[in-house]
Amino acid sequence: MMNKENLNKIKTDIDNYFNNLSEDDKFSGEILVSIKGEKIISKAFGMANYELDVPNTTRTKFRIGSVTKQFTAAAILQLYDKGLLDINDTLDRYVPNYPKGNKVTIHHLLTHTSGIFNHTSIKGFVESIMKNPHNAESLIEEFKDCPYDFEPGTKHLYSNSGFILLGYIIEKISKKSYKEYLQENIFDKLLMNDSGYDDHIEVIKNRASGYALKEDEKTLLNCDFIDMTIPYASGSLYSTVEDLYLWNNGLLEGKVISKDSLNKMSSKYADAGKEGYYGYGLFIDEIELGGKVRKKVYHGGGIPGFFSENDIFPDDDIQVIMLTNIATMKFAPKIDAVESIIFKYIQ
């Protein structure tokens, strides 16, 4: 049990940090900090819609970008736990005639070691591809014939395309859409009532609008449009800090996948450089905080108008979850500041 006085100091210092930010550096979004199972802070700042003056709350739904990859990896591992696939299955088993499909395994896709070209780097992606609806098959066709970046299994290079293929595999095996599968097997199971697959056509209550800042980092703009069929299983979901807290706890408590699969998910498979190592839909790193090297299991996300971060320090039993609807490079320093505050009081 942690010293109550220190918990109060952490909460006060985090509050003061956000309240004392300059006008040009104000945070718009949600934050949740949990220490040893106790929520120290769960709070919203700024506006869900700046044109209509609608404030953010902890029930406001934010696009979480690549934090989606945790859910895709867990869904694959659920199918593995049921004996419906093997991690070493090759891609050609599920996508016939895929180039080098007999050399690419599910493990490669999960760890970004497949060498498959990242579809978000295709020429014309921003101008055309990301604005037009696709199904899984047509999305795969966009990158299927792009040259490989390297031979499967020889290197690590972050590739959204690999997780597009994983989403397609989930659909092929489960005979459900990716959206339906996650809703039934994860969101409903964990009572994540404010999470789902985003779609601009649907009316989704409490959904935040996304914004960007001009190069001066001061002028607010509406973000670019992206059809949410494009990020698909690599980045299509929306959630809240409270729901992501349910997700983290459900995952750690064995409510989503087996202990064996959780160990697989959080193992160091691929050297990801300055970001540590990559497991299955997770980065694993060791960083110095509060004068001590600490294990950090995490993933961030970025999509037009939104940034997200879901950090767990498993040995310290600490979670830091932050979501913003203003996509600015000022987001990452705020995460660092919050974590520095926490570990100032934790040995």
Give ∠ CA 199-255-2 in degrees, rounded to 5. 105
Residue 183: both structure tokens together: 């809703």
pLDDT at 269 over 70: yes
CA distance 327 to 306: 5
> Mean pLDDT throughout 46-71?
97
- pLDDT confidence tier of residue 205, bands split at 50, 70 and 90: very high
pLDDT score at 28:
97
pLDDT score at 121:
87
Per-residue pLDDT tens over the stretch 90-133: 999 999 999 999 999 999 999 999 999 998 888 878 777 888 88
- pLDDT confidence tier of residue 23, bands split at 50, 70 and 90: confident
CA distance 295 to 287: 7
Give ∠ CA 7-39-339 in degrees, rounded to 5. 65
Per-residue pLDDT tens over the stretch 294-333: 999 999 999 999 999 999 999 999 999 999 999 998 999 9
- How do the domains of the chain map onto residue ranges? 4-344
Residues 6+ apart with CB under 8 A from 141: none
DSSP structure class, residue 306: E
CA distance 298 to 211: 24
Give ∠ CA 324-327-328 in degrees, rounded to 5. 110
pLDDT score at 1:
52
CA distance 227 to 208: 16
The helix or strand, by DSSP H or E, that contains position 160, with its residue range, turns out to be helix 160-174
CA distance 107 to 104: 8
Strands 211-213 and 318-324: unpaired
> Mean pLDDT throughout 203-207?
97
**Superfamily holding 4-344:** DD-peptidase/beta-lactamase superfamily (3.40.710.10)
Q: 82 to each of 42, 153, 258, how far by Cα in Å?
A: 36, 26, 10
> Mean pLDDT throughout 267-296?
96
pLDDT at 216 over 80: no
Taking the model in full, what pTM does it have? 0.96
Residues 6+ apart with CB under 8 A from 212: 220, 221, 222, 223, 224, 304, 305, 326, 327, 328
Q: 310 to each of 108, 218, 258, 313, 316, how far by Cα in Å?
A: 23, 26, 21, 10, 15
Ranges of H-type helices in 227-323: 232-235, 241-252, 259-265
CA distance 118 to 225: 20
